[in-house]
């Protein structure tokens, strides 16, 4: 039994060592990510009454491609849902950006900073039963996070992200009247997994 435990520990150590050997270099590597977390939307005020939004849930995934040892490009799609006094909002974020990844002495841990452009498709499900349209908007994001490599091809990832975008008009679908505005800006924290194919 002791030999089996020692063998399992040795295999785990070898696996982790292999993971650290190239964890800090993303050059030429392609990976996919999945993440979940919480999103704090900007407070939203309708034209004539308070419509403050609550924190919500965000989930999504994406593709990352390494350009050299430090730079990578990333495409992600996330869906966020959160409530308000007057109904439920949703935002689908199509995000394209870049990362700068830092090389540390502890090569299993790779922190990064990112910036990018976001296309925000917004919707609103009102409690009053009326149908509303919400404009899509183009915004930008800044992010920071880290990958912690469990093996060479598998990493735990955690990120904080701020998205800034202009207000979107909320319009009554039947009458075309402007009901108010929605601010798709937000701050989110997510965790997930990143898998590299090569």
Comparison of pLDDT for 100 and 15, the residue scoring more: 100
The Cα 41–Cα 52 span in angstroms is: 9
Query: Could you tell me which of 15, 163, 9 has the C-alpha nearest to residue 96?
Result: 163
The total number of structural domains in the chain stands at 1
The Cα 111–Cα 103 span in angstroms is: 8
Cβ atoms of 61 and 77 closer than 8 Å? yes
pTM flag (> 0.85): no
CATH number where 105 lies = 2.40.160.20
> 64-122, pLDDT tens digit by residue?
999 998 999 999 999 999 887 777 888 999 999 999 999 877 779 999 999 999 999 99
pLDDT at 125: 85
Which among 19-28, 77-86, 126-135, 147-156 has the top mean pLDDT?
Answer: 147-156
Where in the sequence is the domain holding 161, given as residue range(s)? 2-196
Structure tokens belonging to residue 98: 């870049």
The Cα 88–Cα 83 span in angstroms is: 4
The Cα 59–Cα 33 span in angstroms is: 11
Give Cα separations from 48 to 51, 86, 93, 174, 178 (angstroms): 9, 12, 28, 19, 11
């Amino acid at each position: 039994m002791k030999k089996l435990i020692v063998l399992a520990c040795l295999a785990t150590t070898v696996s982790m060592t292999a993971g650290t050997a190239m964890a800090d270099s993303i050059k030429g590597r392609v990976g996919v990510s999945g993440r979940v977390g919480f999103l704090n939307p900007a407070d939203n005020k309708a034209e004539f009454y308070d419509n403050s939004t609550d924190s919500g849930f965000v989930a999504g995934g994406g593709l990352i491609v390494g350009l050299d040892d430090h730079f990578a490009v990333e495409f992600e799609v996330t869906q966020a849902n959160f409530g308000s006094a007057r109904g439920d909002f949703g935002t689908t974020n199509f995000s394209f950006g870049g990362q700068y990844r830092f090389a540390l002495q502890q090569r299993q841990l790779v922190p990064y900073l990112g910036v990018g452009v976001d296309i925000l498709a917004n919707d609103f499900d009102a409690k009053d039963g009326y149908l509303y349209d919400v404009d899509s908007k183009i915004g930008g994001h800044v992010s920071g996070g880290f990958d912690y490599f469990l093996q060479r091809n598998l990493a735990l990832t955690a990120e904080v992200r701020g998205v800034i975008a202009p207000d979107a008009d909320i319009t009554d679908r039947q009458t075309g009247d402007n009901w108010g505005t929605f601010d798709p800006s937000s701050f989110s924290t997510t965790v997930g997994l990143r898998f590299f194919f090569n």
